[in-house]
Amino acid sequence: MVRWIVGVIVAVAAGWAIVGFLPATTMANEPTPKISILRVLAKPVVESGRAKHEPAKGCYLGAYVELDPSISQKLMVDGRGRRDPAAFEKIVQKPHASYFFYLGYGRPLPSEYIAALRDRGKLIQIALEPNAGLATVQDDDYLRSLADMMRDSKARIFLRFASEMNGDWVRYHGDPVLYRQKWRLVHRVMAERAPNVAMVWCPYAMPLGTIDPYYPGDAYVDWVGVNMYNVTYFNQNKSTPAHDIGPFDLLDPIYRKFADRKPIMIAEYGVTHFSAVENKYVRQFAVSNLDQLYQGLRKRYPKVKAIYYFNTNGIALKHRRNNDYRVTTDPTVRATYRKLIDHPYFLSGAPGGLPGENEFVVRTLDSGSTVDSPIAVRAEVSGTGLALRYKWGYVELIAEPDGHVVLDPRALEPSTGALTIEAVDADGNVVAARQVELTLTRPN
């Protein structure tokens, strides 16, 4: 039996609809409840077995360059200057496929910067951080407009929401149940409104014991990430030496747990070549760890499909002075990084076969539409305590764990008929219903 995996939204026969429920005949003598379908979303079902934006082979090269003062060339976007990735690529002598930036939850999306990276063919990782706490994350105008702007950017986006949740240094640590609820909320809004966004769940490499309770579930995660750093001392504390902790020690636990079912992203990686706590260069430490990790990704970790180097001078951070992680300034470290990433396994751009921007177009699922390939359908109903039930003719469509149903013209007889959506209360009563007339055909 073919196993279908939900893919990206494309312009086949799908999209948003603002429609109202027709009152069911069984409720004719009672007040009509104020219920409506806020959105009707349909998307094709992809058979590739790969996650959104996942390359079939190789590993995306990525980087963070915002805190490298040696990169003086800037892009003037969104009213500010940002380090120009082109200047970084000139130094390391290879284009990178993706770059990331941080965005505090509640802040506006830097649309001009995203457009500039998109126009250069880059994938974009956004580290969206609810630093004021999880209570700020609501299904409101901010979250919906954020999703709409991401969709309208037509960029390939990785959304790393609320990462490092397993550490007590973030404001969204401490309540795994609430965390999972908020994660699923963000996932739902992005899935419905921004099909070009892949959700990345990303703990820190340690502590390991607090990771599992925060996992939202396979149905709500596209990629699993990990943030990890090789330093000579943890937390700048000489009582916690880390000289003998290698990159595999940090990566292995996450990889072993998730790589059989999710692509893995090293969302942040850095290795120090100048240690603040020791006040000295540790070049060989940097060279050795870089070599282990980047060679190891090719030979031992085929499911690591993206790595972002944290190219930052932490020595210059006034609020948190730590280490110099840059690969741009020290000649020995720079030469090592150049040599390691030169291998074609490390991808400079999105390979062919990934969805193009036209496939992110969202269209209304109107009566009269023709469906000629499998689509996943989801509706959202206002009101509380209501469940949704979907039928094609007299055939009830079984919902998947995340709530969508699959309408597959290859499994049903080609015909013109009605997709019926019913709202059911806690007692099993149908309180409202809606029908959409569709024609199912099989492709030639």
Distances (CA, A) of 443 to 95, 121, 367, 410, 440: 40, 32, 20, 9, 10
Q: Tell me if 261 sits within 8 A of 222, measured CB to CB.
A: no
Distance CA(151)–CA(111), nearest Å, equals 11
Distance CA(424)–CA(17), nearest Å, equals 20
Distance CA(53)–CA(7), nearest Å, equals 10
Give this prediction's pTM.
0.76
Q: What is the pLDDT of residues 359-392, one digit of tens each?
A: 555 556 678 888 887 788 888 777 777 888 999 9
Residue located via tokens 């009213």: 79
Q: Tell me if 312 sits within 8 A of 101, measured CB to CB.
A: no
For the chain, give the mean pLDDT.
87
Residue 21's pLDDT band (boundaries 50, 70, 90)?
very low
The residues, any chain, with a CB within 8 Å of residue 205's CB and separated by 6 or more, are 226, 227, 228, 250, 251, 253, 254
The arithmetic mean of pLDDT across residues 41-54, rounded, is 74
Q: Which residue has the higher pLDDT, 336 or 33?
A: 336
Alpha-helical regions (H) of 154-275 = 176-193, 247-258
Q: What is the pLDDT of residues 253-302, one digit of tens each?
A: 999 999 999 999 999 999 999 988 888 999 999 999 999 999 999 999 99
Distance CA(339)–CA(336), nearest Å, equals 5
Distance CA(288)–CA(327), nearest Å, equals 13
Which phi-psi region, left, alpha or beta, contains residue 363 (left: φ > 0; alpha: ψ -120 to 50)? beta
How open is the CA angle 293-298-299, to the nearest 5 degrees?
95
Range in 195-204, 244-253, 306-315, 360-369 with the lowest mean pLDDT: 360-369
Q: What is the pLDDT of residues 388-429, one digit of tens each?
A: 899 998 888 888 776 778 888 888 888 899 999 888 888 888
| Three-state secondary-structure class, residue 186 | helix
Q: Tell me if 200 sits within 8 A of 125, measured CB to CB.
A: yes
pLDDT in the model for residue 301: 97
Q: Which of 97, 92, 102 is nearest to 67 (CA)?
A: 102
Indicate if the pLDDT at residue 25 is higher than 50. Answer: no
